[in-house]
Amino acid sequence: MKLTRLIIGLLLPPLGVFLTYGISTTLLINVLLTILGWVPGIIHAVWAIAKFYENIDRETDKNAENVY
């Protein structure tokens, strides 16, 4: 799923951000960056999607440490 969203973020940056965050300020920022230029939109989309999954992994690791 992560790879799919990253690929979508490369092809259609706002769609990749929308699928990850829904309607949010992150999506609005990405739409504005994409209007200003496709490359800034791609960079933001890939960064935002990667950051989202990084936070999920961090939360999962915290929860796994608290089990024992």
- For residue 54, pLDDT over 80 is answered with yes
Burial class (CB in 10 A: 0-12, 13-18, 19+), 29: middle
Residue 57: what pLDDT?
Answer: 85
Q: Tell me how many domains the chain contains.
A: 1
Average pLDDT of every residue of the chain: 91
Q: Looking at 29-33, 34-38, 61-65, which range is the least confident one?
A: 61-65
Residue 36 near residue 44 (C-beta atoms within 8 A): no
pLDDT band at 2 (very low <50, low <70, confident <90, very high): confident
Q: Residue range 16-43: average pLDDT?
A: 96
Residue 44: what pLDDT?
Answer: 97
- Residue appearing with tokens 């940056």: 13
DSSP 37: -
Structural domain span for residue 19: 2-67
Residue 17 near residue 50 (C-beta atoms within 8 A): no
